[in-house]
Amino acid sequence: MARLALLSVSDKTGLVEFAKQLVEEFGFDIISSGGTAQTLKAAGLPVTKVSDYTGSPEILGGRVKTLHPRIHGGILARRDLPEHLADLEEQYIRPIDLVVVNLYPFEQTIAKPGVTLEDAIEQIDIGGPAMVRASAKNFANLTILCNPNQYGAYLEELRANGEASIAFRQNCSLQAFKHTASYDSAIAAYLEKQTEATSFTLTGTRIQELRYGENPHQSAAWYQTGAVQTGWAAATKLQGKELSYNNLVDLEAARSIIAEFTNDDPAATIIKHNNPCGSAMGATISEAYEKAFNADSTSAFGGIVALNRAIDVSTATALTKTFLECVVAPGIDPEAQTILQAKQNLRVLVLPDLSNGAKENIKQIAGGFLVQAADDIVADPNSWQLVTEKKPTPEQLAELLFAWKICKHVKSNAIVVTQNRTTIGVGAGQMNRVGSAKIALDQAGENAKGAILASDGFFPFDDSVRTAAAAGISAIVQPGGSMRDNDSIAAANELGIVMVLTGIRHFLH
């Protein structure tokens, strides 16, 4: 008797060619349901509809098609048990040798703007997961394929061995259970957001093994969340070595900063060890990059660059003048791409949507993990308090906004000094705010005169204000909220410094 294959897929990539080879090269009979059957018939392939095979029509608008003993009996029967084989014969059920199933596009559906709960519910597959799980359980007797990228390997197994090996079938079973687990997790995560959630579900599909983690003795891998490629999984790497763990961490830090300037003038940032060593805006993207580079050219060596405009010839030429690890931009001109090819090891990525970041931050701790909403609040100077006698000029207010946007993405305690929409001093990750201020102001040097200072947290005392004034700072932006805010404001008034309070803190640990 011919071998029997059940094909019922949402993703029809490569389906017709695969089914054709099953039939013509290996003599399979095919049963299929719904749109899959229509696709195969339209291609001229012999196929029996599931409803004809079971003798039961599809009902409830297609909600019930394959939930039938002739289907699940053929999948679950053990060929080594005479009583199972007797049941099949008595019920006129053929054993199924191959099941090819992938599931309704639930994740693609919920990714669409304006999707309703009703829309999402209708994309929850029932019969598909039942068949996948039943087939995966019985891998000793049949093969389950749930991804088109498995078709070629299965055909090679048949050509080499006449049938799929047990090792191949077991691996397919593992992939199938991962497939249904990821699918169920996506549904649970979506439904959690519709209610008061008491659990948090996170699943990912491995994109690639990484050479190592932060250090060579640490193993690491890169996972994509969701079936729809977004974020870095949607980036195109045009050239360069494989991305490392540290590259990806720094690229995300660079993306998060440049996302602040999506709708602004040309902007560039250079990241080193997860902090910006130089960030700037300019009339052109080339000018923005040159300003960011010159802000701290020493630290920029081996850095990660993010741009909010496509890379043009002028910018590409500038990028080749120093050693950089990665460059990411929303696009690149063909001539610029040719120029960058001279730097073969430079990783060049195109990510059209640099603003699409994670909605939650997740951090593991012993015995569990922490989840918080992403710090994606948009700065609104109209909500800021102008608390000093001296008020900011329009030019100062624009500079304060620039400094505040950058300071948000510097490790706490964070102090950023800027002038002419360029960072000239960055104090990051110190154990006290005075230490961060000293580092930033020392780096700025004489350029601090007339510059802007931003602090990610409030000043607990007025010492940082006095230090800033002594360096020549003209205006300060900080969240406020200290019991001693009035001391800092009084010091600013005494020293003739503008101070604005944002009411928003941006700690970054």
What residues act catalytically?
137, 273
Across 93-126, b (16+ Cβ under 10 Å) vs e yields: bbbbbbbbbbbbbbbebbeeeeeeeeebeebbbe
Q: How far apart (Å, rounded) are the C-alpha atoms in residues 46 and 37?
A: 9
Residue tagged 């995560």 (tokens): 189
275 beta partners: 272
Distance separating alpha carbons of residues 509 and 506, to the nearest angstrom: 10
CB atoms closer than 10 angstroms to residue 273: 16
> Cβ distance 468 to 497 under 8 Å?
yes
Task: Provide CB contacts within 8 A for 239, sequence distance 6+.
Answer: 340, 341, 344, 346, 347, 348
Give the span between the Cα atoms of 226 and 205, in whole angstroms: 8
Distances in Å between the Cα of 29 and the Cα atoms of 34, 38, 58, 79 are 17, 16, 21, 19
Return the structure tokens found at 398: 């624009």
Contact 378, 434 (CB under 8 A): no
Torsion, Cα 28 34 36 37, to 10 degrees, reads 50
Measured in whole angstroms, how far is the alpha carbon of residue 474 from the centre of its chain?
39
296 closest CA partner among 282, 308, 279, 311: 279
What distance in Å separates the CA atoms of residue 506 and residue 188, rounded to the nearest whole number? 31
Task: Find the largest Cα–Cα distance for the chain.
Answer: 97
Angle at Cα 456 formed by Cα 452 and Cα 460, nearest 5°? 95
Structure tokens at 11: 């993703």
Burial class (CB in 10 A: 0-12, 13-18, 19+), 139: buried
